[in-house]
Structure 1
Amino acid sequence: MASRNVGRRRADHKGNRRRTLAIPQGHGHGHGHGHGHGDHVVDTSVVNSDAVVARRVRIVVAAVLIPLITAAVVLMIALWPGGGVKVDSYQTSTARGEVTAIKACPDPKDKCELATVKLSNGPDKGKAVPVEVPSAGQTPFAIKAGQSVMLGIQEGAPLDQRYQYVDHDRSKPLLILAVIFAIAVVALSRWRGFAALIALGVTAVMLTQFILPAILKGSNPLVVAVVGGAVIMTIAVFLTHGVNAESSIALAGTIAALGLTVLLGWFFAKFSQLSGLAAEGASTAKSFAPNLDLTGLLVAGMVIGALGVLDDVTVTQAAAVWELSAANPAASRRELMSAGLRIGRTHVASVVNTLVLAYAGAAMPVLIVFAIQDLPTLSVLSTESVAMEVVRGLVGSLGIIAAVPLTTALAAMAVADRSRELVADAERL
Structure 2
Amino acid sequence: MPTARRVAPKPLNPVLSRRCFNARISRLSLLGAARAFIVLVALGTVVAMALMWPTNVGDKFSEVVQPSDKATVTGIDDRPCGATVSDRCIRVLIQLDSGDEAGSRGVIQWNANGVDPDVHVGDKLRVAQAQEIPGYEEYGQNTWTLVDFQRGPALIALFAIFAVMVLLLSRLRGALSLIGLGISLLLILVYVIPAILDGKPPVAVAISGSLAIGLIAILLAHGRGPKAVAAMLGTTSSLLLTALLAVIFTSATRLTGLSGEEAFALRLADPSVSLQGLLIAGMIIGALGVLDDVTVSQSSTVFALRAANPDLGFRELFGRAMDVGRDHVAATVNTLVLAYAGSSLPVLLIFASGALGAGEALNLELVAEQVVATLVGSIGLIVAVPATTALAALLALHTPRAELEHEAAHGHAHTH
What one-letter code is carried by the residue in structure 2 that aligns with 1:57?
L
Shift of 1:163: 4.9
Q: 2:292 aligned with 1:311, yes or no? A: yes
Take 2:352 and 2:362, find their aligned partners in 1: how far apart are those partners?
Answer: 12
List aligned pairs for 1:102-113, cutoff 5 A. 102-104=76-78, 112-113=89-90
- Assess if the C-alpha contact under 8 Å between 2:96 and 2:106 holds in 1: no
Verify the 8 A CA contact 1:199 1:236 in the aligned structure 2. Answer: yes
Q: Write the distance in 1 (CA, Å) between the matches of 2:319 and 2:95.
A: 66
Distance 2:398 2:220 in 1: 29
Pick from 250, 258, 272: which aligns with 2:253?
272
Report the count of equivalent residues.
368
Question: What residue ranges of structure 1 are gaps of 5+ in the alignment?
Answer: 1-49, 421-429
For residues 49-60 of structure 1, the aligned pairs below 5 Å read 55-60=29-34
1:129 to 98, 102, 105: 105
Contact 1:132 1:165 in 2 (8 A): yes
The residue number in structure 1 matching 2:234 is 253
Residue in 2 aligned with 1:207? 188
Kept after mapping to 2: 8 A contact 1:117/1:131: yes
Deviation (angstroms), 1:160: 5.0
User: What one-letter code is carried by the residue in structure 2 that aligns with 1:60?
Assistant: A
8 Å contact from structure 1 (residues 112, 132) kept in 2: no
State the alpha-carbon separation in 2 of the partners of residues 53 and 339 from structure 1: 23
Tell me the residue number matched to 2:97.
120
User: What secondary structure sits across from 1:93 in the alignment?
Assistant: coil
1:310·1:403 contact (CA, 8 Å) conserved in 2?
yes
Aligned residues of 1:131 and 1:165 also touching (Cα < 8 A): no
| 1:149, distance to aligned residue in structure 2 (A) | 0.8
The alpha-carbon deviation at position 114 of structure 1 amounts to 4.2
Distance in 2 (alpha carbons) for counterparts of 1:262 and 1:310: 12
CA contact (8 A) 2:322 2:385 kept: yes
| Counterpart residue identity of residue 226, structure 2 | A
Q: Please list every run of 5 or more consecutive structure 2 residues that lacks an aligned counterpart in the other structure.
A: 1-23, 131-139, 402-416
CA distance in 2, matches of 1:129, 1:394: 52
Which structure 2 residues correspond to residues 327-406 of structure 1 after superposition, within 5 A? Answer: 327-406=308-387
1-structure distance, mates of 2:329, 2:250? 24
Aligned partner of 1:79 in structure 2 is: 52
Structure 1 range deviating more: 346-355 or 82-91 = 82-91
**What is the Cα deviation at residue 185 of structure 1?**
1.6
Q: Tell me the residue number matched to 2:390.
A: 409
CA distance in 2, matches of 1:217, 1:300: 15
Describe the shift of the 1:402–1:375 C-alpha distance in structure 2 as closer, same or farther (beyond 3 A). Answer: same
Give the 3 Å change call, closer, same or farther, for CA 249–111 of structure 1 in structure 2: farther
Displacement, 1:54?
5.2
In the alignment, is the contact (CA less than 8 A) between 1:330 and 1:418 conserved in 2?
no
Matched residue, 1:97: 71
Shift of 1:138: 3.1
Quote how far apart the aligned CAs of 1:173 are.
Answer: 2.0
Q: CA RMSD in A?
A: 2.8
Judge conservation of contact 2:27–2:398 (CA < 8 Å) in 1: no
Counterpart residue type for residue 195 of structure 2: A
Q: For residues 329 and 395 of structure 1, what CA distance do their matches in structure 2 show?
A: 37
Q: CA deviation at 1:261?
A: 0.2
CA contact (8 A) 1:81 1:217 kept: yes
- Distance (Å, rounded) in 1 between the aligned partners of 2:270 and 2:79: 38
For the pair 1:151 / 2:132, whether they are aligned, the reply is no
1:213-247: CA deviations, max 9, x gaps? 21122111111110110111111111122232211
CA distance in 2, matches of 1:278, 1:250: 35
Tell me how far apart the structure 1 counterparts of residues 171 and 125 of structure 2 sit (CA, whole Å): 36
Conservation of the 8 A alpha-carbon contact between 1:329 and 1:418: no
Instruction: Label 1:279 to 1:413 Cα distance change in 2 as closer, same or farther (>3 A).
Output: farther
SS at match of 2:353: helix
* Range 343-352 or range 323-332, more displaced: 323-332
Q: Secondary structure at the match of 2:299?
A: helix
TM-superposition CA deviations, 1:371-397 (whole Å, max 9, x none): 334443233323322222111100000
TM-score, normalization: structure 2?
Answer: 0.80
- Between stretches 361-370 and 106-115, larger displacement belongs to 106-115
- Once the two structures are TM-superposed, the CA of residue 365 in structure 1 deviates from its matched residue by 0.9
The Cα offsets for residues 146-198 of structure 1, whole Å up to 9 and x where unpaired, read as 111112368xxxx9548542122222222222221222221222222222222
Query: In structure 2, what residue type is equivalent to 1:59?
Result: A
Closer/same/farther in 2, CA of residues 66 and 164 from structure 1, 3 Å limit? same
Give the TM-score taking structure 1 as reference length.
0.78
User: Does residue 67 of the first structure (1) align with residue 36 of the second (2)?
Assistant: no
Aligned partners of 2:183, 2:109: CA distance in 1, in Å?
37
What is the identity, as a one-letter code, of the residue corresponding to 1:77? Answer: A
* CA gap 1:403/1:214 in 2 versus in 1, 3 angstroms: same
Give identity over the alignment, percent.
Answer: 38
